[in-house]
């Protein structure tokens, strides 16, 4: 098992604050001057980084702060910033997270099905637990309890993350039927999934794994800080 790679810091062009690259969003400048989200950080050329959520990005765009920051970062004023850039960022983050889940499913690091997940959770084999946002509360509680038992963390408040996608979307992403709950059974895979889901959820103002990591530090502790660790994301 390889140790996590160092995660370099980048500066947000809106707030000026620095943070780990894996938690920020890269914006790329195309040859035609159009600014586009590059959430996987692979587009060639100069990039600019933002670490704010969608409302803050929309506000910065409306007030001209985003254009000013991009002008400094790209060293040019000839920019075409789409009005729907925040929506494009959200769509890209969602797609990246769902693609990661699909890749991990094909790699065999995910479990679906309540009975299989409960058995693995009680045996201490689950590193990360997630529920569809249209999953039933009773089913969530049952699996959360099994996870706490398996991790010897009863009474800790440990609970699965409710992901911002319904069972229909998760089923399509994983290529399986009726995906309501997802368990990650590999430590590094939990880190990879957690990283992509966290960026997405932070941007749209949904619950992230930050609080969970205080109870279960392995959730982030096993993460590699780029998509080349484990199954790779295709472009």
Reported as a single tens digit per residue, the pLDDT across 175-196 is 999 999 999 999 999 999 999 9
What integer is the mean pLDDT of 156-169? Answer: 94
pLDDT at 197: 94
> Considering only the top CATH level, what class is 9-89?
alpha beta
Reference 225, options 54, 76, 4, 61; nearest CA is 4
Domain 91-221 has CATH 3.30.1330.30: yes
Q: With 80 as the cut, is the pLDDT of residue 227 above it?
A: no
Alpha-carbon span 22 to 194, nearest angstrom: 11
pLDDT at 213: 61
Instruction: Report phi then psi at 144, rounded to 5.
Output: -60, -45
Q: Are 114 and 180 in contact (CB under 8 A)?
A: yes
List the domain boundaries for the chain.
9-89, 91-221
Domains 9-89 and 91-221 fall in the same CATH topology: no
Instruction: Give strand ranges (E) for 38-97.
Output: 47-50
Q: Which helix (H) or strand (E) holds 180?
A: none
Q: With 60 as the cut, is the pLDDT of residue 3 above it?
A: no
pLDDT at 220: 59
- Count of C-beta atoms within a 10 Å radius of residue 9: 12
pLDDT tens column, 209-221: 876 665 666 665 5
Dihedral sign computed on CA atoms, order 139, 141, 142, 148: positive
The residue that leads in pLDDT, 101 or 225, is 101
Percent of all residues in the chain with a pLDDT value above 90, rounded to a whole number: 75
Q: How many CA atoms lie within 13 A of 57 on its CB side?
A: 27
pLDDT at 231: 56
Averaged pLDDT of the chain: 89
pLDDT tens column, 117-157: 999 999 999 999 999 999 999 999 999 999 999 999 888 88
pLDDT at 88: 98
pLDDT tens column, 63-90: 999 999 999 999 998 999 999 999 999 9
What integer is the mean pLDDT of 95-120? Answer: 97
pLDDT at 224: 41
Cα end-to-end span (Å), the chain = 26
What is the bridge-based pairing of β-strands 9-11 and 181-184? unpaired
pTM here?
0.88
């Amino acid at each position: 098992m390889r140790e996590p790679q160092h995660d370099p810091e980048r500066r947000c062009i809106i707030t000026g604050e620095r943070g780990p690259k894996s938690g920020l969003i890269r914006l790329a400048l195309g040859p035609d001057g159009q600014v586009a989200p590059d959430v996987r950080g692979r587009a060639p050329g100069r990039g600019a980084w933002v670490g704010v959520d969608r409302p803050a990005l929309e506000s910065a765009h409306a007030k001209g702060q985003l254009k000013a920051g991009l002008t400094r970062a790209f060293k040019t004023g000839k920019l075409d910033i789409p009005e729907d850039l925040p929506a494009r960022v959200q769509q890209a983050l969602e797609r990246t997270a769902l693609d990661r889940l699909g890749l991990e499913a094909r790699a065999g690091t995910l479990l679906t099905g309540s009975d299989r997940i409960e058995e693995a959770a009680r045996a201490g084999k689950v590193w990360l637990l997630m529920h569809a946002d249209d999953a039933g509360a009773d089913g969530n509680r049952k699996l959360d309890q099994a996870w706490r038992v398996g991790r010897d963390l009863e009474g800790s408040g440990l609970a699965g993350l409710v992901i911002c996608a319904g069972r229909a979307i998760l089923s399509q992403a994983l290529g399986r039927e009726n995906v309501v709950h997802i368990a990650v059974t590999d430590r590094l895979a939990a880190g990879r999934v957690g990283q992509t889901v966290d960026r997405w959820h932070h941007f749209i103002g949904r619950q992230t794994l930050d609080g969970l990591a205080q109870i279960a530090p392995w959730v982030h502790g096993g993460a590699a800080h780029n998509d080349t660790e484990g199954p790779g994301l295709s472009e």
